[in-house]
Amino acid sequence: MNILLFDNSELNDGLLTLADRRAKHIIKVLHCDCGDHIRIGEINGKVGTGTVVLIKKKFPFRVDLFVDLSDQPVPSPPVDLVLAMPRPIMLKRILSQVTALGIGTIYLINAERVEKSFWNAGILTEEEYVPHLIQGLEQAVDTRLPQIRIFRYFTFFVEEVLPGIAAHYSSLVIAHPSSEKSLLECLSGKRGRILYAVGPEGGWLEPELEKFLAAGMNSFSMGARILKVDTAVVTIHGRISQILDDTS
């Protein structure tokens, strides 16, 4: 935890009272005392300093912080993700990893090769997935909570939703080993948000890929190596960020 996050609704006249894992973290990991300062941020808001004004180090833990927010959070790359629903245990890791790297919206969608059982996992409720997003923000010292949008019908997403949101993006890209374009060619000369799509283990079916292309996606190749979904999500994010850094 590199920053302690709170929701605006928890704040009372500039005072934040904690009695959960965050209080425990301040006491057991940071070993704070009254008067100490910690890095703090409001979810979807600014970052600043929390000053410990009351601390109860024995269970039940309690920490009161006086909150002073002054700065914008770290920059986040203008990147969104379309992800075929992965195995829930992998999804948790992907959510915190891409949140740490910086992401705006994650569209979780169905595909032919997505195992049906994945859709019955508890991870798809807000209560379950938000903690993994928070974990990513706490890691990266960010406050911007990514949006999660879930689409259980591939065709509905690609035919009804994607064409509508495509206009918000300067580039929409999808990895495909047999594409002749490079990622740089797909992104070059454009400025604005980027949407990238990562398929299920085993890949998109050819008709699925064709529907993406018809909806405005551009395919690119990054070589013949086959990657697991979590590796692909992070490495493509790195590649996009590198191109954005080099052209900004």
Binding flags for a second copy, 160-199, as an x/- string (CB under 8 A):
----------------------xxx---------------
Closest distance to a second copy from the beta carbon of 37 (Å): 18
- Taking the C-alpha atoms of residue 81 and residue 105, their distance in angstroms, rounded to an integer, is 6
How far apart are the C-alpha atoms of 78 and 170, rounded to whole Å? Answer: 10
Stretch that binds a second copy, among 9-17, 22-30, 42-50, 220-228 (CB under 8 A): 220-228
Query: How is 1-31 classified by DSSP, letter by letter?
Result: --SEEE-GGGEETTEEEE-SHHHHIIIIIS-
Question: What span, in angstroms and rounded, lies between the C-alpha atoms of 235 and 240?
Answer: 9
Q: Does 236 bind a second copy (CB under 8 A)?
A: yes
Write the interaction track for a second copy spanning residues 90-129; mark x where CB under 8 A is met and - where it is not.
-------x--xxx---------------------------
Minimal distance in Å, beta carbon 141 to a second copy?
Answer: 6
Cis before 73? omega within 30? no
The single-letter code of the amino acid at 243 is I
CA distance 147 to 112: 24
Site residues for a second copy per CB under 8 A: 2, 74-76, 97, 100-102, 139-142, 182-184, 222-228, 230-231, 234-239, 241-243, 245-246
